[in-house]
Structure 1
Amino acid sequence: MGRQTTQAGAAAKRRVAGSPVRHVGLPALLALALTFLVALAPRVAADGPAQALTDALRLEELAGLIRAEGLADAGTFVPPGPSGKTSDDTLARIEALFNPAMIRAEMQAALAAGMERDAQIRAMNFFDAPRGKSLVRMELDARAAISDPDVEAIARSDWAMRQDDSDQTIQLLKRFAEVNSLVERNTASTMTARYHFLCGLAVGAGGIPDEDAILSQVWSRQDMIRADTENWLMGYLMMAYAPADDADLKAYVAFSETPAGQAMNAALFDGFEAAYARISYGLGLIAGQATLGQEL
């Protein structure tokens, strides 16, 4: 720690403008309201509540969306080869990083480790009910839509115009974000991912990560990352829950305030952070190696 990277590693760092991670994807948005424990679904006994909860949250579908986003963005962070194109080998390595089965497994492991069985069952049973299924569907549809830069720009603009409104829907969205610490957690996750990316970048370029310098660089962008995260997040929330009514949002907030809701929120962020730390380091490694190859 504290040792400088090689000149190639430093040059590789300068080529990268941002983090390879789109906003974490709002794992807290997957904790829905429940006022009592309903009957245990038959498949829970066979597969365990963490797996049943993973299925109810449609985390496999979400992992597929993360993969699509990552592959679409990868060219921004990995320079092309001598031919001007990314090599097939590099593409295969990038695709392996975004293996949806691995992402799903990381999230399920976090649910199993971070939630008591009773909390898993409470959440899973609600997500199997009509309200839960509807809200999860809204979240996934919005996640897919906002990957389009034009849609993202509209969502950000819509939030900018309405963020000071006093109507109940806007206040509920703000309360939901506050209860789940969505801005803070997503900001921290983005900064952590950037740290791992820059470490991988230095190693890939033939250097040794200067952790103090990397941390300083990451922290220097905290305010900018937080502002961007908040704007993206609230635009996403407003778009995702546009079809929902205020009763759904009130129930969502109420569950998020419970111990089970808080445990689920924390566990899902842990799962996403583990996945993105692995992916970000791997992307940095690939980018550093590609840059080093260009300079040799």
Structure 2
Amino acid sequence: MRRSVTLLTLLALTAPLPLAAEGTAPGAALPAPTAETGKADAAALAAVLQLDPTFALLAEEARPQADALEEQFFPGRGGAAWAAEVAALYDPAVLRPRFDAAFAQALAGQGDVIPAALAFYGSDLGQRILTQEIAARRAMLDVAADEAAEVAAQDMRDARSPRLRLIRDLITAGDLLESGVAGALSAELAFSDGMAAGSPAGVPPPRDERMRQVWAEEPSIRGEVGAWLVRFLVLAYTPLSDEELKRYLTFSETPEGRAVTAAINAAMTETMTPVSEAMGRLTARFAISQQI
């Protein structure tokens, strides 16, 4: 099962120059987290990142993916049981605690990162960016909206728009393409492993062969992820000025910005890779049961 880039990877574009969070005087130093407060501070940052609507959106995205798997492996025979089991795998109440724990672990010992990220994500601009990204991601679940975003991106290419260069620089600064491709390949292999584990012995190819099959898709996945990122960000950042994007880019290139990106990517990988493997097992079980 090929997954698109996870939303949290996209949200890891981080921020403009560290702005003062609400209630903090400009230029005031924010205390670095200690070993005792680090976990709590990571939880505070996770809360600011609008994770409740984010994980709700991941559950929404799972539904069309589940429909595609049903059509491929057991057309029209999954029914309510299939939908319910897929929904359970993507239950935000299950996934959020996994992410929060992994996020805190990824940020452990990085005392300067959380204050800088809190300063931005707690700001008006930071919250507007997060809200726009979530809204754009949800909008692109609709094929017409996705196609309209591609037309807008193509118009910018044709016009050699400087704004498109800013968006591409943000993709590079956040390492979004590489992390997106790596995430998609890892998810496909995990799904393949789950299918193999849930299938009768001797049916799936050996793992090394399945790995070669997954890696053979890398060029096409890279093209799909790159194109998706551009049209997604073109849509998401439409309300932002070029100056706001430049500030966003500046922070994303700082050590703190890159560290937040890496922590979000690591936490999302730890959270979602087991879901892909479980989806593989679930798909194999339903396929086999429908054949009996």
TM-score of the superposed pair, with normalisation by structure 1? 0.85
Return 120-129 or 157-166, whichever deviates more. Answer: 157-166
Mapped partners of 1:157, 1:236: distance in 2: 12
Correspondence 1:274 to 2:262: no
Mapped partners of 2:156, 2:88: distance in 1: 40
- RMSD between superposed Cα atoms in Å: 2.6
Residue 25 of structure 1 aligns with which residue?
7
Return 148-157 or 245-254, whichever deviates more. Answer: 148-157
The 1:223–1:161 alpha-carbon spacing in structure 2 relative to 1, beyond 3 Å, is: farther
3-state SS of paired residue (1:110): helix
User: Following TM superposition, by how much is the alpha carbon of 1:253 offset from its aligned partner in structure 2, in angstroms?
Assistant: 0.8
The 1:150–1:118 alpha-carbon spacing in structure 2 relative to 1, beyond 3 Å, is: same
Unaligned runs of 5+ in 2: 19-26
Q: What residue identity is the alignment partner of 1:23? A: V
Mapped partners of 1:260, 1:37: distance in 2: 17
Residue 94 of structure 1 aligns with which residue?
86
Mapped partners of 2:252, 2:38: distance in 1: 28
Mapped partners of 1:186, 1:111: distance in 2: 18
Residue 209 of structure 2 aligns with which residue?
213
Correspondence 1:264 to 2:260: yes
User: Following TM superposition, by how much is the alpha carbon of 1:287 offset from its aligned partner in structure 2, in angstroms?
Assistant: 0.8
Correspondence 1:197 to 2:179: no
Q: Give deviations 1:36-69, integer Å, cap 9, x for gaps.
A: 66556xxx97981111111111012100000111
Mapped partners of 1:82, 1:152: distance in 2: 28
User: Following TM superposition, by how much is the alpha carbon of 1:118 offset from its aligned partner in structure 2, in angstroms?
Assistant: 2.7
Mapped partners of 2:71, 2:168: distance in 1: 39
User: Following TM superposition, by how much is the alpha carbon of 1:227 offset from its aligned partner in structure 2, in angstroms?
Assistant: 0.3
User: Following TM superposition, by how much is the alpha carbon of 1:87 offset from its aligned partner in structure 2, in angstroms?
Assistant: 4.1
The 1:166–1:117 alpha-carbon spacing in structure 2 relative to 1, beyond 3 Å, is: same
The 1:216–1:130 alpha-carbon spacing in structure 2 relative to 1, beyond 3 Å, is: same
User: Following TM superposition, by how much is the alpha carbon of 1:131 offset from its aligned partner in structure 2, in angstroms?
Assistant: 1.1
User: Following TM superposition, by how much is the alpha carbon of 1:23 offset from its aligned partner in structure 2, in angstroms?
Assistant: 2.4
Residue 4 of structure 1 aligns with which residue?
none
Correspondence 1:78 to 2:70: yes
Mapped partners of 1:47, 1:276: distance in 2: 21
Correspondence 1:137 to 2:137: no
Mapped partners of 2:124, 2:207: distance in 1: 48
Return 78-87 or 31-40, whichever deviates more. Answer: 78-87
Residue 164 of structure 2 aligns with which residue?
170
Mapped partners of 1:68, 1:99: distance in 2: 10
Unaligned runs of 5+ in 1: 1-17
Residue 34 of structure 1 aligns with which residue?
17
Correspondence 1:238 to 2:234: yes
3-state SS of paired residue (1:163): helix
Correspondence 1:119 to 2:101: no
Find 2:56's aligned residue among 48, 61, 64.
64
Correspondence 1:53 to 2:42: no
Residue 24 of structure 2 aligns with which residue?
none
The 1:47–1:82 alpha-carbon spacing in structure 2 relative to 1, beyond 3 Å, is: closer
TM-score of the superposed pair, with normalisation by structure 2? 0.86
Mapped partners of 2:102, 2:125: distance in 1: 24
Correspondence 1:185 to 2:167: no
Return 69-78 or 217-226, whichever deviates more. Answer: 69-78
User: Following TM superposition, by how much is the alpha carbon of 1:82 offset from its aligned partner in structure 2, in angstroms?
Assistant: 8.5
Aligned length: 276
